[in-house]
Amino acid sequence: MTTRRTLLGAISALALLVSGGASFAQEAREIALISKGFQHQFWQAVKAGADKAGAELGVTVTFEGPDNETQVDRQIDMLAAALSRNPAAIGFAALDSQAATPLLQQAKDAGIPVIAFDSGVDSDIPLTTATTDNVAAAALAADKMAELIGEEGKIAVVAHDQTSRTGIDRRDGFVNRIAEAYPNIEIVSVQYGGGDQLQSTEITKSILLANPDLKGIFGTNEGSAIGVANGKQELNSQVVVIGFDSGAAQKGMVESGLMNGAITQNPVGIGYETVKAAVTALDGGELPDIIDTGFFYYDATNMDDPEIAAVLYD
């Protein structure tokens, strides 16, 4: 009888241990991702990739972002709320490359791994950044623009912001490439539309009206590029438009010729690699400083190529 009680007691203790361990594991499974926004199809595709990785790797992924990409304070509030849940890891795409540093330090102090994605921060706190090489991608956009305008003339840039790493890198990658390689091209204006289609449309129209001899405009993200194309259409302009990202609206504009071409990222890959990196960090694995998720230039001639079609999203 004593032996049976001892065995039952051991079984009960083991059950409690397993139950407690399962509870702890469940608590340790949340990977909290805070994106730059949620209004663009780009972010829906990032979320799809993150969810796919979460399902494959057995972690719970939460994904949220502000209504638009101008709401830095709202994003900071979301990051603070995520930290208050004490997640296993944080994924963060910064609207402002410096504003979140105190909260990211808080995460580090609490032993919560931070993975940057899409848009990094001016800090060494993130263990890695899953992103497009935005400088190189924007330089490719500059090369395509130069080719289409005969390597001479006036052009402009409508950027999404001047605070996020993507905004800065795409602007500078484009501007610097033009300056170093195309001496007969003049950038007459760089303006910021917050990634908002309507605002970018109005900015584009004002640039076109002020520069009737303008040959091209580069829009640095989905909202910017669509706004530029809409502004072109509203003024019946023949200006060359090079965009960034894809999505259904942009793809339609490229197919019709309203937008001459664009750079596509791999947003599904960005989301997937962010969650994968978080799990690697939790397992004590090594991570590179940058996880380069790749980019391609697409236009009406190559959109159906399998390699390109695989990274276009809608």
Concatenating the DSSP letter of every residue in 52-101 gives HHHHHHT-EEEEE--SSTT-HHHHHHHHHHHHHT--SEEEE--SSTTTTH
How confident is the model over 199-217, as pLDDT tens digits?
Answer: 999 999 999 999 999 999 9
CATH superfamily for domain 29-132+267-294: Response regulator (3.40.50.2300)
* Mean pLDDT score, 33-53: 92
* Mean pLDDT score, 128-149: 97
How confident is the model over 248-260, as pLDDT tens digits?
Answer: 999 999 999 999 9
Q: What is residue 38's predicted lDDT score, i.e. its pLDDT? A: 82
**159: exposed, middle or buried (Cβ count in 10 Å: 0-12, 13-18, 19+):** buried
SS3 content of the chain, % helix, strand, coil (to 5): 50, 20, 35
Chain centroid to CA 206: 28
Per-residue confidence at 313, pLDDT binned at 50, 70, 90?
A: confident
**In the chain, pLDDT over 90 holds for what percent of residues?**
85
Per-residue confidence at 139, pLDDT binned at 50, 70, 90?
A: very high
CATH class, domain 134-264, is alpha beta
Q: Are 173 and 271 in contact (CB under 8 A)?
A: no
**45: exposed, middle or buried (Cβ count in 10 Å: 0-12, 13-18, 19+):** buried
Closest alpha carbon to 270 in 41, 8, 46, 13: 46
How confident is the model over 63-113, as pLDDT tens digits?
Answer: 999 998 889 999 999 999 999 999 999 999 999 989 999 999 999 999 999
**Same fold for the pair 29-132+267-294 and 134-264:** yes
Task: Indicate the average pLDDT of the chain.
Answer: 91
Closest alpha carbon to 101 in 114, 88, 111, 89: 114
- What 3-state DSSP class applies to 143? helix
Tell me, yes or no, if the pTM score tops 0.75: yes
Residues 65 and 166: their CA atoms lie apart, in Å, by 16
Q: Where are the domains of the chain?
A: 29-132+267-294, 134-264
**In the chain, pLDDT over 70 holds for what percent of residues?**
91
Who contacts 104 (Cβ-Cβ below 8 Å, separation ≥6)? 90, 92, 114, 121, 123, 125, 126
Strand partners of residue 86: none
Chain centroid to CA 69: 11
